[in-house]
């Protein structure tokens, strides 16, 4: 199986030993605590689940700046996006302290991890701008990722962590949430050697379905990992339980048995376009996938990124030996009226625009909100009904 990023074995920071975890939970009750941001809590979950292998905890300012500027830590590890525990105020916390990190996303704000503090530093306004500009390619706070990042504060609490739980992800999505190690174990159990991963924060329509099948066939993969984001999204995005139900129905009816794994991971969407696409590739390599689909406007939002910037970054900025996972570059996909099926538009040079059925995600949401049926060329009817039921409930 493909090796994890930067290591021979996964480095999950979840404390799996029951005795040690109980001991830490007792210790945490006596420790000073800070209420972390939703993003930092999600980072802790990703560290705990092994997706951030080989990291041992939260980065300091030097590593964050180095990652932002050149996609490498100070010590030379390739990494595309800073992994930070940012807060507005860490008064009283100093290097060498052990602190409890409280989860803002769970009632009662239980401790999600215990951190041994390496440094407490404050980003200058200039350095915070630099990180923002490099990662998001904009300083515009209308960008939801920029707004979330800049809303966390400027104080960075760095150092290794020990993770006590997986926040709300394991309890709210027991059939879907999986750690990187659990996915690797299931890949091995299924006897797959080549696995192509598909990232989604949206329900999957006909184009997504066919793209997964095209990528599976083109790469010779044994199966597809449909890996959905379960964390925080921007307003207007369809919530995870609805997406989960729609995807499961699509796979049940339209994919051959034992060709798809439906899983999810606990992370808040960054909407960071190209940089987030590279981070997504790291996640999937750590989960044991050999190939990863990068499509049009991957991890993008609005008009902040070019349609294929998330593919170009792998050619222009990612060193050839940085990752072992291979990228499957997908073109625009659309339903061909000529051929009666979904195709990648680059594979249909004899078509005109009128030969395709094209619907934007915005237009689809508008149709659903208006109670209109989605065309079968765009969405499987069983999937469309799940989405329409959700929008009817929202309107009621």
> Which residues are catalytic, by number?
201-202
Q: For the chain, what is the radius of gyration of the CA atoms?
A: 21
Report which of 313, 260, 253, 269 is spatially closest to residue 289, judged by C-alpha positions: 260
Half-sphere exposure of 342 (CA within 13 A, CB side): 22
Structural contact between residues 210 and 223, judged by C-beta atoms closer than 8 angstroms: no
Look at the block and give the residue holding tokens 């190209």.
274
Cα pseudo-dihedral 205, 297, 239, 81, rounded to 10? 140
Helix (H) or strand (E) holding 64: helix 61-70
* Three-class HEC string of 180-230: HHHHHHHHHHHCCCCEEEEEECCCCCHHHHHHHHHHHHHHCCCEEEEEEEC
How far apart are alpha carbons 192 and 75 in whole angstroms?
34
């Amino acid at each position: 199986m493909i090796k994890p990023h930067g290591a021979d074995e996964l480095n999950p920071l979840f404390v799996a030993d029951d005795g040690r975890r109980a001991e830490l939970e007792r210790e945490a009750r006596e420790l000073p605590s800070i209420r972390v941001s939703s993003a930092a809590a999600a980072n802790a979950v990703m560290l705990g689940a092994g997706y951030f292998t080989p990291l041992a905890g939260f980065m300091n300012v030097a590593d964050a700046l180095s990652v932002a500027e050149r996609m490498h830590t100070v010590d030379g590890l390739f990494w595309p996006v800073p992994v930070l525990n940012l807060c507005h105020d860490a008064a009283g916390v100093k290097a060498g302290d052990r602190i409890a990190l409280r989860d803002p996303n769970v009632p009662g704000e239980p401790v999600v991890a215990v951190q041994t503090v390496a440094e407490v530093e404050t980003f200058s306004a200039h350095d915070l701008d630099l990180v923002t500009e490099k990662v998001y390619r904009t300083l515009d706070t209308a960008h939801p990722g920029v707004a979330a990042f800049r809303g966390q504060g400027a104080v960075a609490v760095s150092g290794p962590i020990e993770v006590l739980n997986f926040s709300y992800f394991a309890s709210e999505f027991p059939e879907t949430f999986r750690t990187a190690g659990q996915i690797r174990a299931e890949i091995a159990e299924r006897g797959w050697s080549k696995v192509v991963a598909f990232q989604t924060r949206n329900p999957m329509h006909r184009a997504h379905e066919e793209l997964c099948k095209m990528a599976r066939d083109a790469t010779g993969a044994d199966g597809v990992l449909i890996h959905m984001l379960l964390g925080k999204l921007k307003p207007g995005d369809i919530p995870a339980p609805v997406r989960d139900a729609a995807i499961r129905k699509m796979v049940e009816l339209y994919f051959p048995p034992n060709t798809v794994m439906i899983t999810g991971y606990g992370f808040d969407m960054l909407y960071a376009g190209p940089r987030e696409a590279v981070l997504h590739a790291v996640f999937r390599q750590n989960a044991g996938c050999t190939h990863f689909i990068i499509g049009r406007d991957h991890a993008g939002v609005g008009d902040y990124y070019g349609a294929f910037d998330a593919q170009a970054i792998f050619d222009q900025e990612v060193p050839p030996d940085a990752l072992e996972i291979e990228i499957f570059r997908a073109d625009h996909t659309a339903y061909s009226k000529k051929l009666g099926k979904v195709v990648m538009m680059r594979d249909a040079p004899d078509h005109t625009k009128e030969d395709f059925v094209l619907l934007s995600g915005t237009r689809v949401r508008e149709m659903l909100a208006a109670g209109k049926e989605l065309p079968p060329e765009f969405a499987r009817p069983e999937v469309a009904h799940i989405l329409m039921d959700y929008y009817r409930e929202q309107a009621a």
